[in-house]
Amino acid sequence: MMNTTAKAAILTFVILAAALTEATAQLANTEFAAINEIRSVRLADPTPFWRNGKQFSSADLLVFRVRLTDPSEFVPRGITPPLFVYGDTVCQVIREPFPSGEAILLAPRIPGPALLWLTETGVLAQELSPSETQRLWQKAESAAKLRAVKIPATPAASGPATFKDLGELFQNLQAGPAP
């Protein structure tokens, strides 16, 4: 027969597990509210990105300023937040969306239209194989909440602003969207 302390401990565990399950279910409510800016930039020194589990570098880039409806999925905790992916390439996050709701992302230019989308939490860029990227992309695109947004065309590459490195670009981005 269980004593009162053991019963209380089990009951507390069940209540906490139920609360955690409910909180986790609510975390996937993040969706794109707006794309506030898309800007072409060029870096003198290429910067690294992940595509299909492999790292590569690019100097011809796009900057995205995106607004999310609920940045709580990006609250720092012991699990990797969702990754922003443009096409099949994991974006660099220049500014996290928590707590402001606005993220600044960096991605290599790709030809034609592409989706900007969010993975689930816990996904690591270096583990995204082509098949896993495809599976997660389809899940994001078909989600009840809009976890993907189509970018119809990107700004022309002619005459993008050039920066020597990410530090200089970051300073420029702090001033706000381009005029």
pLDDT along the chain (179 residues), means of 10: 51 34 40 86 93 93 90 83 92 91 92 86 90 83 71 68 87 72
Asked whether 53 and 128 are in contact (CB, 8 A), the reply is yes
What is the tally of helices (H) and strands (E) in the chain? 3, 9
Q: What is the pLDDT of residue 33?
A: 84
Q: Write down the pLDDT at residue 155.
A: 62
∠ CA 163-168-171, rounded to 5°:
130
The answer to whether 63 and 97 have CB atoms below 8 angstroms apart is no
Q: What is residue 76's predicted lDDT score, i.e. its pLDDT?
A: 80
pLDDT at 25: 32
- State the pTM of this model: 0.75
